[in-house]
Structure 1
Amino acid sequence: MLMFFSLFTGLNKVEAETAPINVNADGAILVDAETGKVLYEKNADSVLGIASMTKMMTEYILLDAIKSGKVKWDQEYSVSEVVYDVSQDRSLSNVPLRADGKYNVRELYEAMVIYSANGTTIALAEIIAGSESNFVKLMNEKGKELGLADFKFVNSTGLNNVDYKGLHPEGTEATEENVMSARAVAQLAFHLINEFPDVLKTASTPKMTFREGTDDQIKMENWNWMLPSLVFGYEGMDGLKTGTTDFAGYCFAGTAMRDGKRYITVVQNAKDSEGKGSYEARFGETRKMLDFAFGNFTKEEIFPKNYQVKKQKTVPVTKGKEDNVKIHTKEAINMVVLNGQKENYQPILVLDKKKVNKNGELTAPIKKGDKIGTLTIEPKNGEKLSFLTAEGQKKVQVDVIAAEDVEKSNWFVLMMRGIGGFFGSLWDGISSTVKGWF
């Protein structure tokens, strides 16, 4: 019997720790794509190589430039010397570009996102910033703006600068390569797909022909072989970016959606059971995390709309016709949690310090719907929830509002209360003095 119960105790512990998997990679992370809540991590803050996962930043900056109107999809580009030279190297992922050719932004973008074409990536960097060197500065500035903690960009592609054969961006070292932590990669992916969700329409394209119908046409197969129709197909997979160099190993930032639930995964230098890196290893370790997520997590309503915290259902009111006002949540709090763990969270009510006086009272008049404070949640065991961004954290925080009106008392009632309070205080003082005599 003891063995029987100890078995179930072990299962509960596994659920609470949310880590019944071990991803074979130098760095890894699994997050909920809606809130950025971290569901699993391994060495997530170690700064490692990222290879072509770099291109997610180039995608982000390009799509931002498109949105602002600084760059147009049909804008034409004439090939520079460095772009021509890099694009001709077929030992790298590339679509060869003609030295005298003209290409529009959309086809350069599609080649970058689908085929990880390095020459077209540099071309886009030049379109946006005039040179790749200037673009690298933009990349590092944007990383800080997005709140990425551990990163350094030295080029737009993710190649080792050695692969540029002397044409690497000015101000960077010849042997440098881009680095980030798994957490930072996930943050970048989180911003990219939430701010520019259309990127997934291109990232999920399994095959496309570059310059179809011309002498330069090249068949492009997506390097994300986990797309449903490809060799390691996974249901719901629709992004995002692979990367491979000798320095970084086999990397992959993936995302998949099923039944309204989307997750983001990152693996850096993924390896198989024998400790060898491979295409199959990065997809296998990604599959391990996604299977864990889809099989063990559910989006739950932790607290409903109009929820009232026990023992905190009202707030005292001064100068009102009523002494208290009822309060409740404006919206429900929903969050992805491990199956069976919904009840392991407790509400945390925080009243707005600007709304209450030093005695914790609200001042009448109060209108129904007025914001009184906020409600968030935390695990009952005292652990802290981990999110990629502050914005994600706020998605499990809702406003607490007044559930009713409280009118201000008229001057006569307030005067009588003041007189009553004065004599009450006077009587209390006299009583205390008399008691002191005895």
Structure 2
Amino acid sequence: MKDVMKKVSILVVMAVLMITTFSINNIKVSAATNLDVKAESAIIVDANSGRILYEKQSDLKLPPASMTKMMTEYLVLEAIEAGTISWDTTTQIGDYAYWLSSNNSFSGIGLRQNKQYTVRELYEAMAIYSDNATTVALTELVAGSEGEFVKMMNAKAEEMGLQEYKFVNSTGLSNTDLEEYHPEGTEPNADNLLSARSAALLAYHLVNDHPEALDYSSMLSTTLDDRELTNWNWMLPWDDNNFTQFGFEGVDGLKTGHTDAAGYCFTGTAQQGDRRIITVVMKTNSETERFVETKKLMEYGFSQFEQAELFSADYQVEDQKTLPVSKGKEDEVEIKTAEAVATTIKTGEEDLYQIKYEMDPEKLTEDGTLEAPVEAGEKVGEAVIEYTGETDNGYIGGADNVQRVDVVTSNAVEKSNWFMLTLGAIGDFFANVFTTVVDFFKGLFS
């Protein structure tokens, strides 16, 4: 009897543990799938595909504060890549930058006018400490003046396809704060404007076109003129106990921002395995809240989505496995995808995707056929991934960013010889004559 009771007790304990574990797991899933982001505007983007994983009022234009500097970073890195300047290029500090550096409200790091600073020194202070004076010094070096640099910023924004933006200076301060130094060609009381979507698209270009930017945004600190400048990003792997609560695996950037008008903003990015995501929160209520809310977004992006191969290489769409061929030894040729189709999807939604062919009209005749000769592996169009579920947030770059792979022929088709082509032409002629005669007599008796 005691053995029976002992076995029953063990079973009861196991059942309770199973129920408890199931409940805890359900709570975790619920917490991860239901986002309540305390920011006026927010977005999550997959940095590899550009797919938008989540958005909240992401088209709302707001002052981005120092997140503006992401565009400044991009243009400086572009100038280095083009060879216009180098990391070792030196420059002196002008009156405008010196004025900013002497004001604690703007920077306060006290740059010297009798010293040559390298581009690397200035860039680190801008990217790590979000310094305004060194930012202006870089813009003057690259473009001659901040006013000319602002023109470059807006031109690059248009080139990138940013939808909601306005750049009036390189730092993110209000032009009102800059007083007589506000950039030429801009309004004295104007502000930079960006939506979360445009900030994410800017970050998407920055990390993909110039990944070296992450080498600097991930640095905890740098030194300039014997002064330590500390990174404002509390989600980096700090040892400081005050910051570890905000840490998140894989965070290596990107840019914080704060003004009274903008609130507390943050464009973050993190890499885990072969996946990188970009997040933006705008107009949160405190310095800590922007990191707490970003952490929510990152947890959601990594836990609820995965990289998946949806269609293997050589995939053929049912009922579209072949294309007709004219003037060839064969009447048709098989077509297939040239490579596997992989993308970031919400876990469990593999079956909600399909492939749609978009054939190259220049490859086809008016009758929609390929004209022989046809080579094996010849590109005849593209396959586009289509999502058939309820909510599709699209891609950060719009329709142009939709993932595509080439559609190619599986085999070659030789051109038919002149005799067979002639017989075919004669056959087509008499077939057309016969059809015309039949239609004529049908018309007489109808």
Q: What TM-score does the superposition give when structure 1 sets the normalisation length? A: 0.89
In the alignment of these two chains, the number of paired residues is 412
Deviations 1:289-345, CA, capped at 9 Å, x for gaps: 100010010111111111111000000111110010000011111110000001101
SS at match of 1:268: strand
Match of 2:10 in 1: none
- Ranges in structure 2 where 5+ consecutive residues have no aligned partner: 1-25
Structure 1 portions without partners, runs of 5+: 1-10, 212-216, 271-276
Alignment of 1:368 onto 2:384: no
Identity of aligned residues (%): 46
Residue 109, structure 1, aligned to residue 116, structure 2: no
In structure 2, which of residues 412, 420, 430 is the aligned counterpart of residue 413 of structure 1? 420
Q: Tell me what 1:273 maps to.
A: none
| Secondary structure of 2:407's aligned partner | strand
Q: Does 1:127 align with 2:145?
A: no
Determine the C-alpha separation between the residues in 2 that align with 1:300 and 1:390. Answer: 21
Q: What's 1:153 paired with?
A: 167
- Write out aligned runs for 1:210-221 (5 A): 210-211=224-225, 217-221=226-230
User: Aligned residue for 1:279?
Assistant: 287
Deviations 1:346-371 (A, max 9, x none): 11111111111222211111000111
> Is residue 2:73 matched to residue 1:73?
no
1:322 to 330, 340, 343: 330
Answer with 301-310 or 91-100: which moved more. 91-100
Return the offset for 1:254. Answer: 0.5
CA distance in 2, matches of 1:424, 1:137: 66
Which residue identity lines up with residue 409 of structure 1 in the other structure? S
The answer to whether residue 47 in structure 2 is matched with residue 33 in structure 1 is yes
Match for residue 214 of structure 1?
Answer: none
CA contact 1:94–1:115 (8 Å) conserved in 2:
no
Q: Is the 8 A contact 1:94 1:118 kept in 2?
A: no
Shift of the 162–31 alpha-carbon distance from structure 1 to 2, 3 Å rule, reads same
Closer/same/farther in 2, CA of residues 94 and 405 from structure 1, 3 Å limit: farther
Residues 58 and 139, structure 1, Cα contact 8 Å, conserved in 2? yes
1:250 and 1:268 in contact (8 A); partners too: yes
2:202 match: 188
Partner of residue 341, structure 2: 333
| 2:231 is the counterpart of 1:222 | yes
Q: Deviations for 1:184-237, whole angstroms, at most 9, x for unmatched residues?
A: 1111111111010011011000122223xxxxx111110011002261211100
AA partner of residue 323 (structure 1): D
Q: Secondary structure at the match of 1:122?
A: helix
Residues 413, 114 of structure 1: alpha-carbon distance in 2 compared, 3 angstrom cutoff = same
* Contact 1:379/1:385 (<8 A) preserved: no
Q: Is the 8 A contact 2:100 2:107 kept in 1?
A: no
Partner of 2:223: 209
Q: Which amino acid aligns with 2:101?
A: S
In 1, distance between residues paired with 2:149 and 2:75? Answer: 9
Q: Which moved more, 1:337-346 or 1:174-183?
A: 174-183
> Are the counterparts in 2 of residues 315 and 326 from structure 1 also a CA contact under 8 Å?
yes
The Cα of 1:422 is off from its aligned counterpart by: 2.9
Post-superposition shift, 1:424? 3.1
RMSD: 2.2
| C-alpha distance in 1 between matches for 2:436 and 2:61 | 67
Contact 1:66–1:72 (Cα < 8 Å) also in 2: yes
Q: 1:304 to 1:166 in 2, by over 3 A?
A: same
Q: Which residue of 1 aligns with 2:17?
A: none
Q: Is the 8 A contact 2:54 2:393 kept in 1?
A: no
Return 352-361 or 424-433, whichever deviates more: 424-433
The one-letter amino acid paired with 1:34 is N
- The answer to whether structure 1 residue 164 and structure 2 residue 164 are counterparts is no
Deviation at 1:24, TM superposition (A): 1.5
Q: Matched residues in 2 for 1:431 and 1:88: separation?
A: 95
Distance 1:89 1:311 in 2: 70
CA contact (8 A) 2:33 2:304 kept: no
| 3-state SS of paired residue (1:334) | strand
Question: What residue is the counterpart of 1:59 in the other structure?
Answer: 73
Aligned to 2:40, the other structure's residue is in SS state strand
| Partner of residue 3, structure 2 | none
Taking the aligned partners of 1:398 and 1:322, their CA distance within structure 2 comes to 26
Aligned residue identity for 1:342: E
Q: For residue 180 of structure 2, give the secondary structure of its aligned residue in structure 1.
A: coil
- Structure 2 counterpart of 1:425: 432
Q: Work out whether 1:88 is the aligned partner of 2:102.
A: yes
Does residue 137 of the first structure (1) align with residue 175 of the second (2)?
Answer: no
**Comparing 59-68 with 72-81, which one deviates more in the overlay?**
72-81
Task: For residue 384 of structure 1, report the CA deviation from its aligned partner.
Answer: 5.4
> Which one-letter code corresponds to 2:202 in the other structure?
L
Residues 370 and 382 (structure 1 numbering): CA distance in 2 closer, same or farther, change over 3 Å? farther
Q: Is the radius of gyration larger for structure 1 or structure 2? A: 2
| Distance change (3 Å), C-alpha of 1:94 and 1:236 | farther
Alignment partners' CA distance in 2, 1:43 and 1:228: 30
8 Å CA contact 1:28–1:42 kept in 2: the answer is yes
Q: Is the 8 A contact 1:378 1:384 kept in 2?
A: no
The residue identity in structure 2 corresponding to 1:175 is: N
Q: Deviation digits for residues 362-413 of structure 1, max 9, x if unmatched?
A: 111100011111111212248656112259625x101101110000111111
Per-residue CA deviation, residues 30-50 of structure 1 (Å, 9 max, x unaligned), is 100012111111111111010
Residue of structure 1 equivalent to 2:63:
49
Task: Give the equivalent residue in structure 1 for 2:358.
Answer: 350
Structure 2 distance, partners of 1:384, 1:87, is 46
Amino acid at match of 1:254: G
The answer to whether the 8 Å contact 2:53/2:393 transfers is no
Q: Secondary structure at the match of 1:322?
A: coil
Cα distance change of structure 1 residues 130 and 55 upon mapping to structure 2, 3 Å threshold:
same
2:168 alignment partner AA: V
- CA separation of 1:225 and 1:130: change in aligned 2, threshold 3 A: same
